[in-house]
Chains A and B, each alone.
Chain A
């Protein structure tokens, strides 16, 4: 007899996610993820000026801020036939890179690491040994005995105060934590350093977009202007700051994040065989080097992989009505032609219709509707999206720089390519992608400086700015890659207003309800993206809590019969 356990709230994510799992003989035999919050942003967008949509959609997620704004301006530009100037494209790429650098580091240290790093164990570390390890794996200058000793004392004072704050009620001391105390101290120290560092790289957003979170975007380009001879524009001083921020980011990634990742991973090698999830991967790609209408030029490739077959990358077309479709069989929505329908987003509908239990409730009825997340499918396949999907699609598409860093890491870890299809592979992919993005950002910033020097730094294409220049009806798709995965917006413009706006976000790919009405577990298993990957919610951001070591620990404490052995 299976027992139901519930984890709600899932923490260290953005939004509100609930996991209900069936546990039998100490193992999870089935599990369901539910988004338990909805705001109705697609409904709110109707009737508004399409040029405003970036600002509204950007508020879908403040952790991976910017990406919805980018998808939105691209959707409107696609609908209106606007091609943005190359300089604006470069600025967008730099905003994208800054977001990835900040967010991947935050994800690793602040959202994810507490499932792998035992904070309390760090108190038992010998700071001398931590310093030795740190100096062995990296040239990062903050690695003296005194430095680690000070951090440890600070931590000790914090713990002794009896007020553990954000670390209260963790699974400290659980055997699922595998790191030696010295490595735990190293990781906790870098948790604090990364917290301080992340607020720096994001200044790139303030320079080009005025603020972060939620910098400003613009249909037709970017709002900032370049003028080397003007105080009130992006000039040499501003560009120097951008260059320095990216250089420091590259240093942090190469000397802190990557060494930590490679130091921690070998102690969790068993996780190379756990958490594989779905065999299908989807990436829309991004970072164009020859305009957004030329996906071949993207640094991050576009495509789909089915059944883990890396020898074939399928083409992805956002406009094809047979490719991306959304289901609501198990989601609290209503379709005008019946809830069994699958709809391409151009024809998508968003009508909220709650039919779950009256709160307060203890359990959702997963045979019925049980989530605010719609369920997207690509050619009827459930797909994983995110760093692993991007690295795999780029790898299989023959992107040389991606192949090099992936092969190198696999060699260091002594792991085969198949090890990538796992929790560890997913975590490694995020780190490797960060390394690539750090390198690419330095290329982009140099190209930007070159354009300003050459006097070709126009940032706005205004030919379709005035609504009187728009056709009576137009539709467009805007694709990008949120740090958590493939993200696209679909817009239908009628009479100069938004007639329909649909977002298909990474969390719906990774954490949605099952697609169809069948209640039989075997069939459901073949469709459901259960235990996939990064578990994000409709508004998208968080770590893969359920597939990490603390998760079995959570099961243990919730249900004494459970053993930490969940696959």
Chain B
């Protein structure tokens, strides 16, 4: 451990000043959602911790998480992988292939047993002994179980690893399961999203680096720093919802004025993510800002919560104080009456729109009665 440079040392080598270092620490603290009073501990952590090794595995996935990761604007991914972590296995970026790649991974796991961070991108097929995803002749399940044993922490990147995502959508032909369902006795940080926002991924790593411990998680294993707010509650179009101003058809007059996309199927009211705050691609935009409803891609089972263009039965009644732990349960249960109550309680400017809105509120067509409102990733 001692031969690895600390972040402070590597910054000194790059001729940064102590002041730059302190500024970076306060920035990292802010990015990780850490209060100013905790800053001294961040500084100590980054001064004393050497670059931790990271093993990044790929299973049933599309690599959108890796692609999102390299979009990070703060910190820049080059700075992250050259100066702050040691990315010792990454099928997307590493130079070596085949046996050499596996040797690099195995060497890290042996040398840094109990110290490396295991990150997983992708779900793991469990049907038919896992033959649906093999790497180097071994099943995904075999590999992840072995790699998790000596890991200091496990991070599940994206919805595939967090909740199964697309391969776990009905009928889940390969028995795909998320990481936390297969590892016992290991805390798993779930960072859902298809993909997660780049700065949320980088921010999660920064949190681990800064404190040497897992971030505070909600009941679904997600860092509270990024998943404690509904997209609906942080949406800049929210006032349109409250006022009953809705897009009725894509590119209609309402769409051109940025009205609420609820009627076009927006899942913002039932989706916990940082899109409305952090936004995407360096804060450029997010789906709703660009005219399309939220697909709910950070929520378990979102693929089976469609069709995407049928709007939710009703979503009113949840305040911003609602916890992530409660929300998934409520979706199917609330009725059109909720919308009515919400409409009455709001400063209604367009009574006609609201009336029509209520009349057209119907249960989502695909969910059968009694079916769980939150998707089931395993079979």
Q: Does B5 contact A (CB under 8 A)?
A: yes
Q: How far is the CA of A557 from the CA of B102 in the complex (A)?
A: 14
| 8 Å CB contact of B286 from A61, A210, A220, A541 | A210
Q: Does B136 contact A (CB under 8 A)?
A: yes
Residues of A within 8 A of B102 (CB): 9
Q: How far is the CA of A205 from the CA of B71 in the complex (A)?
A: 12
Q: Does B242 contact A (CB under 8 A)?
A: no
Q: Which of A119, A203, A232 has the most CB of B within 10 A?
A: A232
B284 touches A36 (CB 8 A): no
Residue of B nearest to A88 (CB): B251
Q: Does B166 contact A (CB under 8 A)?
A: yes
B170 touches A44 (CB 8 A): yes
Please encode chain A, from 211 to 244, with 1 for each CB lying within 8 Å of some chain B CB and 0 for all others: 1111110101111111100111100000001000
Residues of B within 8 A of A226 (CB): 256
Q: Sample 7 A-B pairs with CB under 8 A, ordered by A number.
A: A166-B93, A168-B94, A203-B281, A206-B290, A223-B291, A226-B256, A360-B139
B129 touches A55 (CB 8 A): no
B3 touches A162 (CB 8 A): yes
B63 touches A15 (CB 8 A): yes
Q: Does A354 contact B (CB under 8 A)?
A: yes
| 8 Å CB contact of B137 from A48, A231, A359 | A359
The minimal Cβ–Cβ distance linking B247 to chain A, given in whole angstroms, is 9
Q: Does A59 contact B (CB under 8 A)?
A: yes
Residues of B within 8 A of A405 (CB): none
Stretch from B40-48, B81-89, B313-321 at the A interface: B81-89
Residues of B within 8 A of A162 (CB): 3-4
The minimal Cβ–Cβ distance linking B276 to chain A, given in whole angstroms, is 12
Residues of B within 8 A of A550 (CB): 95, 97
B82 touches A9 (CB 8 A): no
Q: Does A41 contact B (CB under 8 A)?
A: yes
| 8 Å CB contact of A210 from B83, B131, B282, B289 | B289
The prevalent SS among residues of A at the interface is: loop
Residue of A nearest to B58 (CB): A16
Please encode chain A, from 187 to 215, with 1 for each CB lying within 8 Å of some chain B CB and 0 for all others: 00000100110110011011111111111
Q: How far is the CA of A465 from the CA of B247 in the complex (A)?
A: 15
Residue of B nearest to A5 (CB): B98
A11 touches B173 (CB 8 A): no
Show the binding face of B for A, using Cβ within 8 Å. 3-5, 10, 13-14, 51, 53, 58-68, 70-73, 76-78, 81-83, 85-88, 90-104, 128-139, 142, 165-167, 169-174, 176, 194-195, 198, 237, 249-251, 255-258, 275, 279-282, 284-292, 295, 297, 303, 306-309
Q: Does A12 contact B (CB under 8 A)?
A: yes
Residue of B nearest to A539 (CB): B62
Residues of B within 8 A of A211 (CB): 275, 280-281, 285-287
Residues of A within 8 A of B282 (CB): 199, 203
Q: Does A325 contact B (CB under 8 A)?
A: no
| 8 Å CB contact of B132 from A60, A209, A354, A458 | A354
| 8 Å CB contact of A206 from B65, B136, B284 | B284
Q: How far is the CA of A557 from the CA of B99 in the complex (A)?
A: 10
| 8 Å CB contact of A37 from B64, B67, B83, B132 | B132
Show the binding face of A for B, using Cβ within 8 Å. 6-16, 36-41, 43-44, 48-49, 51-52, 55-56, 59-63, 65, 110, 114, 119, 153-154, 157-158, 161-163, 165-171, 192, 195-196, 198-199, 202-203, 205-216, 218, 220-227, 230-233, 241, 352, 354, 356, 358-362, 372, 458-460, 462, 465, 539, 541, 545, 550, 554, 557-558
Residues of B within 8 A of A65 (CB): 62, 64, 67
A163 touches B4 (CB 8 A): yes
B94 touches A214 (CB 8 A): no
A10 touches B98 (CB 8 A): yes
A460 touches B250 (CB 8 A): yes
Residue of A nearest to B254 (CB): A225
The minimal Cβ–Cβ distance linking A444 to chain B, given in whole angstroms, is 18
B132 touches A545 (CB 8 A): no
A157 touches B134 (CB 8 A): no
Q: Which of A12, A38, A165 has the most CB of B within 10 A?
A: A165
| 8 Å CB contact of A43 from B14, B65, B171 | B171
| 8 Å CB contact of B250 from A62, A358, A459 | A459
Q: A225-B255, A225-B256, A360-B142 are in contact. Are A163 and B130 (CB under 8 A)?
A: no
Residue of A nearest to B136 (CB): A8
B63 touches A63 (CB 8 A): yes
Residues of B within 8 A of A227 (CB): 256-257
List 18 extra interface pairs beyond A6-B137, A44-B303, A62-B68, CB under 8 A: A11-B94, A38-B174, A39-B173, A48-B306, A49-B307, A62-B65, A157-B13, A167-B94, A170-B100, A206-B285, A210-B288, A221-B250, A223-B292, A225-B255, A230-B258, A352-B173, A359-B137, A554-B98
A36 touches B250 (CB 8 A): no
B166 touches A195 (CB 8 A): no
Residue of A nearest to B62 (CB): A62
Residues of B within 8 A of A51 (CB): 307-309
B174 touches A210 (CB 8 A): no
The 5 closest A-B pairs by CB, nearest first: A232-B258, A62-B64, A210-B287, A40-B173, A223-B292
A199 touches B59 (CB 8 A): no
B251 touches A169 (CB 8 A): no
The minimal Cβ–Cβ distance linking B273 to chain A, given in whole angstroms, is 11
Residues of B within 8 A of A541 (CB): 63
A199 touches B281 (CB 8 A): yes
Residues of A within 8 A of B51 (CB): 161, 163
B104 touches A39 (CB 8 A): no
Q: Which of A40, A51, A545 has the most CB of B within 10 A?
A: A40
The minimal Cβ–Cβ distance linking B167 to chain A, given in whole angstroms, is 4
Residues of A within 8 A of B290 (CB): 206-210, 215-216, 223-224
| 8 Å CB contact of A216 from B53, B81, B85, B292 | B292
A358 touches B292 (CB 8 A): no
A62 touches B5 (CB 8 A): no
Q: How far is the CA of A91 from the CA of B253 in the complex (A)?
A: 19
Residues of A within 8 A of B249 (CB): 460, 462, 465
Residues of B within 8 A of A13 (CB): 91-92
Residues of A within 8 A of B139 (CB): 359-360
B281 touches A205 (CB 8 A): yes
Q: How far is the CA of A222 from the CA of B307 in the complex (A)?
A: 18
| 8 Å CB contact of B62 from A14, A163, A206, A460 | A14
Q: How far is the CA of A171 from the CA of B101 in the complex (A)?
A: 11
The minimal Cβ–Cβ distance linking A536 to chain B, given in whole angstroms, is 11
A354 touches B166 (CB 8 A): no
Q: A12-B94, A169-B101, A216-B287 are in contact. Are A231 and B280 (CB under 8 A)?
A: no
Q: How far is the CA of A48 from the CA of B306 in the complex (A)?
A: 9
| 8 Å CB contact of B280 from A9, A210, A359 | A210
Residues of A within 8 A of B97 (CB): 7, 9-12, 545, 550, 554
B53 touches A163 (CB 8 A): yes
B135 touches A16 (CB 8 A): yes
| 8 Å CB contact of A231 from B59, B64, B258 | B258
Residues of A within 8 A of B279 (CB): 206
Residues of A within 8 A of B13 (CB): 153-154, 157
Residues of B within 8 A of A63 (CB): 62-64, 67, 92
B62 touches A170 (CB 8 A): no
Q: Which of A59, A233, A362, A462 has the most CB of B within 10 A?
A: A59
Q: How far is the CA of A8 from the CA of B250 in the complex (A)?
A: 46
Q: A161-B4, A233-B258 are in contact. Are A9 and B132 (CB under 8 A)?
A: no
The minimal Cβ–Cβ distance linking B227 to chain A, given in whole angstroms, is 16
Residue of B nearest to A208 (CB): B290
Residue of B nearest to A68 (CB): B62
Residue of A nearest to B135 (CB): A9
A61 touches B63 (CB 8 A): yes
Q: How far is the CA of A10 from the CA of B297 in the complex (A)?
A: 29
Residues of B within 8 A of A16 (CB): 58, 91, 133-135
B306 touches A49 (CB 8 A): yes
